[in-house]
Structure 1
Amino acid sequence: MFRIKKFGWLFTISFIAVLAMNLLAGYGRFDHAIAQQSGGNPEKLTMVTSADYPPYEFRDTATGKNDIIGFDIDIAKKIAEELNFELEIRDTDFNGIIPALQSRRADFAMAGMTPTEERKKNVDFSEIYYEAKNTIVSQTGSNLKTPEDLAGKKIGVQLGSIQEKEAGKIAEKVQGVTVKPLNKTSELIQEIKANRIDAAIIEDTIAKGFVASNPDLEFNTLPNPEEAAGSAIAFPKGSERVDDFNRVLKEMKDSGEIDKLITKWFENQGKEESTGNATSSAASNSNFPLAAIMPSIPYIIDGIRVTLLFTALSALLGFIWGTILSLFKISTIKPLTWFANVYTSIFRGTPLLLQIAIVYYATPQLTGYDIPALLAGVITFTLNSGAYISETIRGGILAVDKGQREAALSLGVPYKPMMSDIILPQAIKNILPALVNESIALLKDSALVSTIGVADLLRRAQIVGAEKYIYFEPLLFAGIVYYLMVMSLTWGGYALERKLQRSS
């Protein structure tokens, strides 16, 4: 253990620094929306949503702001004002909303969510505050108007949505229907346009926006399902806040406040989209393929800071942890060797996305600490990357000529300075290309943290796509930025490698 003390202290200090950085600087925390306050120190309540579902909740990226706006947000702010609490809004994927409530990461959720019987087993719901209908969205001229028309077709739905359940019922009644769940409605639209699915079942208010932006698409309303479709507020099981929220919702309905918001976001918004999308379509048909997202490009670019911060911290800590594990593996102390080998087997044998979800959602349940999303990502990538890097470093150490070690020992050089001053520098120089490759993999895999709500480069591109009802252009721009960052890292690795070769 003494032989690795130096590296252990370095890891500990670095980890504390990362923790302090995340807690003090606030990187990786979710966006905040503060409700109006009426004196005193109101209680803070956290709302979780999926801000890629306009006009319910989305980001107005063209203004350069990072605020989440929409129909649900206005209702939440009104409830916060009436009940005198401070509102904090957290953004995540739709299929992560119920886990966030179950792990008590949020006090309530609003995301156009329908209170199905299956969901009621896991969370509580308010009364329905808005009723909607399901539609079949397909390519223009496909004539897919009824469930029977979907016979033999492949249809897409958003994972975890009420539409997924509706599609399942259709598949049971209509022969040959195949259901394909995807994470986001914008992905469904892209699948239709790419002819990978024949149609998608999407809520009517959302379908209108997509069809307005994509003239090659059409939608047809489905008959009302047996189970009433509508939006309600979700709460953790056993929440004491349901009655208070229901009271405010009833007051908003009786006063006409809900109707005003419906007009604002669904009727007036639709008119604005028609005008705005005409301009967007004209821009899309111009010679410059990214013209449609030009106003939102600064918003996407701002995600580079988060992506680079995440990659730098993960690479640094992963290297330190990997070095410690590699020393464990070549140690003569059997328990350390056993631990390092088992550890590497576990982290190389399970999906990285699963590891992120476990660290992010399980930490509050096990420790009571509401871990920030970026910190959860850094910890996960450090633990995962360390497993891979440890094998690379171990191989580099074993590749150093044994004569180097024997010469050092014959001269009476202690183990610690021998490793830090003689063996490790040579090993790192030999494995530098592999370390650069690992850093490149970290940079690209950093996009996985978007699944837990970190507003990195990919997440921001997806948000812009949802806001503008287009998908290809923002992802194309994000791909270009990722490529430029990877090429810069590659060239930097080549330069460092040449420098080390000249100095040898």
Structure 2
Amino acid sequence: MKKLSAMLMAGAMMMSLAACGSSASSASSEAVSSEAASSEVASSAASSEAASAAELTTVTPGKLTMSTNAAFPPYESTDDNGNFVGIDIDVATAIAEPLGLELQVDDMDFDAALLAAQNGKSDLVMAGVTVTEDRQLVMDFSDSYATGIQSIIVKEDSDVATPDDLADKMIGTQRGTTGYIYCSDDFGDEHVTPYDDGLTAVQALVNGQVDAVVIDNAPAKEFVAANPGLKILDTAYAEEDYAIGVAKGNTAMLDAINGALEELKNDGTLQAIIDKYIKAE
């Protein structure tokens, strides 16, 4: 993008000189000079990016280590061959490439994924992570890259029709997520059962161990599609923005991530990744 801007600047300078009525020889000479200046600007920009990447200190040299909980499709999961796939995986890969780094994914429980980034055991955490006041006390966060909706899954014959109906029910959530936090705050810990991942929570709903599951809408759709007899309520429980977490004070990493995200947004790559996994209704 910076190279393109430099080329456009050079073109604008050439047009301005021509409009001033310079001789062909003069215009040609100045155009060559302008092209040289353009090349120098582009080279300087590339050098600046390379220097910025070189300043990054990562957990493992040459790698960008991402902690996650790969049980949250379509953001992160494993395919039939055991490969990590999903929105967060593709976005992290797109961030790593211009930095000259190879993405390394470390799969663990959600709480552990957050702690890994907090303690510098990973370079960043991506797992459909929502920015909250409590998390901001112990981590720094990037600009938002996706919007999530907390939805409610129930059995098709359930008498739960709105979030208010959860007041006297047992709710399943994924441990450490905002779904767990929201439900505990709204209905009390005694009405919330946390599970290690969303799939286990949904299985508890199928088995009648809980009355509902609160989880992000995108994985909720996949879980409902895979489990006949379940449905998602029309009324959303909450809406939130997802961001990338890094260790507190790691400004070099945070700046690199935000710079990459801006480029991915501007050139359409970020939206293309989201559209690849989440189809328009």
TM-score under structure 1 length normalisation: 0.42
Q: Is the 8 A contact 1:170 1:177 kept in 2?
A: no
Letter in 2 for 1:44: K
Instruction: Give distance in 2, aligned partners of 1:181 and 1:45.
Output: 30
Instruction: Give distance in 2, aligned partners of 1:57 and 1:208.
Output: 14
Aligned twin of 2:199: 186
Counterpart of 1:244 (choices 219, 231, 256) is 256
Deviation sequence 1:58-99 (CA, Å, 0-9, x none): 1112xxx33211110000110111222222111111111122
Instruction: Give distance in 1, aligned partners of 2:235 and 2:114.
Output: 27
Instruction: Give runs of aligned pairs for residues 310-459 of structure 1, distance below 5 A.
Output: none
Q: Is the 8 A contact 1:123 1:237 kept in 2?
A: yes
Q: Is the 8 A contact 2:171 2:214 kept in 1?
A: yes
For the residue of structure 2 that corresponds to 1:267, the secondary structure is: coil
Q: Is the 8 A contact 1:124 1:237 kept in 2?
A: yes
Letter in 2 for 1:179: V
CA displacement at 1:154 relative to structure 2: 0.6
Counterpart of 1:120 (choices 136, 159, 173) is 136
- Is 1:84 aligned to 2:100, yes or no? yes
Instruction: Give distance in 2, aligned partners of 1:213 and 1:66.
Output: 19
Instruction: Give distance in 2, aligned partners of 1:71 and 1:249.
Output: 13
For the residue of structure 1 that corresponds to 2:186, the secondary structure is: helix
Q: Is the 8 A contact 2:93 2:102 kept in 1?
A: no
Counterpart of 2:209 (choices 170, 190, 196) is 196
Letter in 2 for 1:201: V
Letter in 2 for 1:266: I
Root-mean-square deviation (Å): 2.3
Deviation sequence 1:330-367 (CA, Å, 0-9, x none): xxxxxxxxxxxxxxxxxxxxxxxxxxxxxxxxxxxxxx
For the residue of structure 1 that corresponds to 2:192, the secondary structure is: strand
Distance 1:221 1:235, change over 3 A: farther
Instruction: Give distance in 2, aligned partners of 1:263 and 1:218.
Output: 23
CA displacement at 1:254 relative to structure 2: 2.0
Q: State the 4+ residue runs in structure 1 displaced beyond 6 angstroms.
A: none
Distance 1:66 1:87, change over 3 A: same
Aligned twin of 1:53: 72
CA displacement at 1:190 relative to structure 2: 1.1
Instruction: Give distance in 1, aligned partners of 2:264 and 2:118.
Output: 28
Q: Is the 8 A contact 1:133 1:222 kept in 2?
A: no
Letter in 2 for 1:66: G
Instruction: Give distance in 1, aligned partners of 2:229 and 2:149.
Output: 22
For the residue of structure 2 that corresponds to 1:131, the secondary structure is: strand
CA displacement at 1:234 relative to structure 2: 0.8
CA displacement at 1:170 relative to structure 2: 2.4
| Structure 1 gap ranges (5+) | 1-37, 271-504
Q: Is the 8 A contact 1:155 1:177 kept in 2?
A: no
Aligned twin of 1:464: none
Letter in 2 for 1:230: D
Instruction: Give distance in 1, aligned partners of 2:138 and 2:148.
Output: 23
Return the structure number with greater strand share: 2
CA displacement at 1:111 relative to structure 2: 0.7
Letter in 2 for 1:260: A
Q: Is the 8 A contact 2:152 2:236 kept in 1?
A: no
Instruction: Give distance in 1, aligned partners of 2:260 and 2:167.
Output: 44
Distance 1:151 1:168, change over 3 A: same
Distance 1:145 1:248, change over 3 A: farther
Instruction: Give distance in 2, aligned partners of 1:251 and 1:76.
Output: 13
CA displacement at 1:143 relative to structure 2: 4.1
Structure number with larger C-alpha Rg: 1
For the residue of structure 2 that corresponds to 1:229, the secondary structure is: strand
Letter in 2 for 1:231: Y
Aligned twin of 2:240: 229
For the residue of structure 2 that corresponds to 1:242, the secondary structure is: helix
Counterpart of 2:274 (choices 245, 257, 262) is 262
CA displacement at 1:224 relative to structure 2: 6.2
Deviation sequence 1:153-201 (CA, Å, 0-9, x none): 11111110011111123216xxx97111111111111111111110010
Instruction: Give distance in 2, aligned partners of 1:78 and 1:99.
Output: 24
Deviation sequence 1:279-314 (CA, Å, 0-9, x none): xxxxxxxxxxxxxxxxxxxxxxxxxxxxxxxxxxxx
TM-score under structure 2 length normalisation: 0.74
Instruction: Give distance in 1, aligned partners of 2:82 and 2:205.
Output: 30
Relative CO higher for 1 or 2, CA cutoff 8 Å, sep ≥ 6? 2
Return the structure number with greater helix share: 1
Distance 1:53 1:145, change over 3 A: same
Instruction: Give distance in 2, aligned partners of 1:252 and 1:105.
Output: 26
Taking only the aligned residue pairs, the percentage that are identical comes to 35
Instruction: Give runs of aligned pairs for residues 157-172 of structure 1, distance below 5 A.
Output: 157-171=173-187
Instruction: Give runs of aligned pairs for residues 131-142 of structure 1, distance below 5 A.
Output: 131-142=147-158
Instruction: Give distance in 1, aligned partners of 2:82 and 2:176.
Output: 26
Q: Is the 8 A contact 1:152 1:177 kept in 2?
A: no
Q: Is the 8 A contact 2:151 2:237 kept in 1?
A: no
Letter in 1 for 2:245: A
For the residue of structure 2 that corresponds to 1:212, the secondary structure is: helix
Q: Is the 8 A contact 2:76 2:89 kept in 1?
A: yes
